[in-house]
Structure 1
Amino acid sequence: MTSRRTRTLALVTLALVLPLMAFILARAGGDPETGAAQPVSAPATSTPAASPVPTDLTVIVPGRPGESAATRPAHEVRDAGPAPHNSLDVMFVRMMIPHHAQALEMAELAPDRATDADIRALADRIRASQGPEMGFMRGWLQTRGLTAELQGHDHSAMRGMQSPEKMRQLAAARGADFDQLFVQMMTEHHQGAIALATDLLTVGSDLTLSEFANSVATEQTVEIDRMREVLGN
């Protein structure tokens, strides 16, 4: 009798404990049958979808001087290489390089010969500006596969260029005589460069070169005014 009651009590206890264990294992991620722990999966994370690349972008394409800008689809715009130029652009650069070279030759005489400190300072300014400008012009030609040679053209005939005899006179002068001759020759030289640069603005097609020519004309006009002020001309 006692044995029967013991078996009954054991069955009842087992009936109560098994569901409880199953519940605990389920909460803990285990297997209710084997009791082995199950790996816990990482919580799902939502990855934002990549934004689609717009296909309707447009690019503003500047026009030539005097022309309005235009808009074009972005996918049609490509690196077109050097800006378009014409033969007059090339001639301007080939003429301006030796023109600048003579200005540098005159400016290099000033430190040892000029009396006026303002003349020496102006010569320093000319060397500091026209040296890099010559580098820019040579680079412009090289980018387009062009040489700096100007065949069939006499450099001495360019506007503002000083004759070999005048250059010898300047090199031989000293003090106030040098100052006076330097201002006279450099003024004429600058006026020639301004004329060349101004002409290009009406006939050239390369926008960057036109901007350079405008800068040359503006800066050298200012330098002419300074030289005239120095000697009171």
Structure 2
Amino acid sequence: MIVPNGPGEQAQTISPGEASSHIPAPPNDADRTYVTMMIVHHQQALSMTSLVPTRAANGTVKGIASRIEDSQKPEIGAMEQWQKQFGASGASKHDHSTMPGMATAAQLDALKNASGGAFDRMFLELMIVHHEGAVKMATDLLGAGQNVLVEEMANDVISTQTDEIQRMRDLLPQV
């Protein structure tokens, strides 16, 4: 079996018998910070998607928002479970408004007050930036974190949200 080590370190090859005794690297500050920040980041995305059913006009926008909800709710649950498992605090001294891709209060208010095609366009524009921020945070974590579970979560964010960004960009000219 091949077992990953920390960033920049050579992976180990171990026998199946050794696998049960192999303990992955404990989380570091980058892992803890990423998980805490990504929970808040995902929560804002869910706040935005919660507006879609009553304000969006475009069916594809509604479908994208539904997929975002369907993926990010369980991801929040997994990250909160990770925090419990590793004794990581859910509290953070970080100013969440400075996280990459976070919509401002004014942008969220404008989104809440929009409807129809104007809502669809604003939602897509804000969510593209939001997802780009999440991809940046996840990419940054891969160079700084060391916990394999957090790296797997970050890789999933990169893969899923990069695909969603492209779908939303493709849809923008149609709304």
TM-score (norm 1): 0.69
Aligned counterparts of 1:75 and 1:119: Cα–Cα separation in 2: 49
The percent identity for this pair of structures is 40
1:70 maps onto 2:70 in alignment:
no
Correspondence for 2:37 among 74, 89, 95: 95
Cα offset for 1:139? 0.4
Match of 2:109 among 147, 168, 193: 168
C-alpha distance in 2, partners of 1:230/1:69?
Answer: 44
Give 1:133's aligned residue: 75
Pairing partner for 2:47 from 105, 128, 132:
105
Residue 123 (str. 1) matches residue 73 (str. 2): no
Change (3 A) 1:183 1:76: closer
Alignment deviations for residues 3-47 of structure 1 (CA, whole Å, 9 cap, x no partner)? xxxxxxxxxxxxxxxxxxxxxxxxxxxxxxxxxxxxxxxxxxxxx
How big is the alpha-carbon RMSD for the aligned residues of Structure 1 and Structure 2? 2.0
Question: Taking structure 2 as the reference length, what is the TM-score of the superposition?
Answer: 0.90
Query: Which one is further off, 125-134 or 223-232?
Result: 223-232
- 1:165-211 Cα distance to aligned partner (Å, 9 max, x none): 11010000000000010011001100100000000111110112112
Deviation of 1:70 (Å): 3.3
CA distance in 2, matches of 1:71, 1:84: 19
* Contact kept? 2:135, 2:162, Cα under 8 Å: yes
Q: Residues of 2 paired with 1:214 and 1:75: CA distance?
A: 26
Name the structure where helix makes up a greater proportion of residues.
2
* Residue 144 of structure 1: how far off its partner (Å): 1.0
Aligned-partner SS, 2:70: helix
1:180 equivalent among 92, 117, 121: 121
Structure-to-structure mapping, 1:142-221, within 5 angstroms: 142-151=84-93, 153-221=94-162
Distance 1:73 1:197 in 2: 31
Q: Match for residue 5 of structure 1?
A: none
SS in 2 for 1:187: helix
1:143/1:126 Cα in 2 relative to 1: closer, same or farther (>3 Å)?
A: same
Q: What are the ranges of 5 or more consecutive residues in structure 1 without an aligned counterpart? A: 1-59
| Number of equivalences | 172
Q: Rg: which structure is higher? A: 1
Contiguous gaps of at least 5 residues in structure 2: none
Q: Aligned equivalents of 1:77 and 1:216: distance in 2?
A: 28
1: CA distance between counterparts of 2:155 and 2:19?
32
CA displacement at 1:145 relative to structure 2: 1.4
